[in-house]
Chain A
Amino acid sequence: QSVLTQPPSASGTPGQRVTISCSGSSSNIVDNPVNWYRQVPGTAPKLLIYDTNQRPSGVPDRFSGSKSGTSASLTISGLQSEDEADFFCAVWDDSLNGPVFGGGTKLTVL
């Protein structure tokens, strides 16, 4: 059971906007930067959003992140077929003194 809660699946059609949620607690999301990763099965995760809303070089501005209270969100605008992958959130937990992860959300582009 993951410390951070994500929906197991999400879907949308090309061009749509999709939002993936990540629910945590006062010991993690509230006071720490949230990070998002994209993972194609069989490969290593890749950083998509760091420090809650920052994009690494090379990540399109279609991807954005935000948080409010104990929850965070990843929004993908202008959905493309190549966006299909697993997405998960990660944040430091002050109580556990280590990073915690969401269980992952499988994104399907219909």
Chain B
Amino acid sequence: QVQLVQSGAEVKKPGASVKVSCKASGYTFTDHFVHWVRQAPGQGLEWMGIINPSDGITSYPQNLQGRVRVTRETSTSTVYMELTSLRSEDTAVYYCARTILGIPAGYDLWGQGAMVTVSS
């Protein structure tokens, strides 16, 4: 079954870090880029980063540079997103999503989402 399965909900204190996993199955892991996108309560989507699972090359938005890190583990077909120095504004549902080949913002497969709550 073609799917992305994410780790569970997390509750963190301000200043802490969180690491969310996204395990791919049912397809060739290295064939598709994986993005991370988040959605704060009642808000739209915000891009957090991209990784090419084939070579591990990443790219991040300017506003999150230095706080977000996306990595992958090819042996387990898993992508990770780590966000540091958490603040209340980071409270959101975090999604991983696979892109269609050649369609940069065309996500044909999504993880189920992981709720991250930042609260003291």
Least CB distance, A52 to chain B, in whole angstroms: 10
User: A35, A103, A104: which contacts B105 (Cβ < 8 A)?
Assistant: A35
Q: Would you call B95 and A44 a contact (CB within 8 A)?
A: yes
Contact of B108 with A56 in the complex, beta carbons under 8 Å: yes
From A44, A92, A100, A101, give the contact of B110 (CB < 8 A).
Answer: A44
A99 to B44, Cβ gap below 8 A?
A: no
Complex Cα–Cα for A30 and B27 (A): 32
A35 touches B103 (CB 8 A): yes
User: Which of A35, A98, A103 is in CB contact (< 8 Å) with B106?
Assistant: A35
A90 interfacial by beta-carbon distance below 8 Å:
yes
Q: Chain B: interface secondary structure? A: strand
Establish whether residues B100 and A50, one from each chain, have CB atoms under 8 Å apart when the complex forms.
yes
B106 touches A50 (CB 8 A): yes
> When A and B form their complex, what is the total count of cross-chain residue pairs whose Cβ atoms lie within 8 Å?
65
Known: A51-B103, A100-B47, A101-B46. A45 touches B110 (CB 8 A): yes
28 residue pairs bridging A and B, Cβ less than 8 Å apart: A33-B103, A33-B104, A33-B106, A35-B106, A35-B107, A37-B107, A44-B110, A44-B113, A45-B45, A45-B110, A46-B110, A47-B108, A50-B106, A88-B44, A90-B105, A90-B106, A92-B105, A98-B47, A98-B50, A98-B59, A98-B61, A99-B104, A99-B105, A101-B37, A101-B44, A101-B45, A101-B46, A102-B44
Query: Which residues of A pack against B, CB within 8 Å?
Result: 2, 32-33, 35, 37, 43-47, 50-51, 56, 88, 90-92, 96-104
Chain B interface (Cβ within 8 Å of chain A)?
A: 35, 37, 44-47, 50, 59, 61-62, 95, 100, 103-108, 110-113
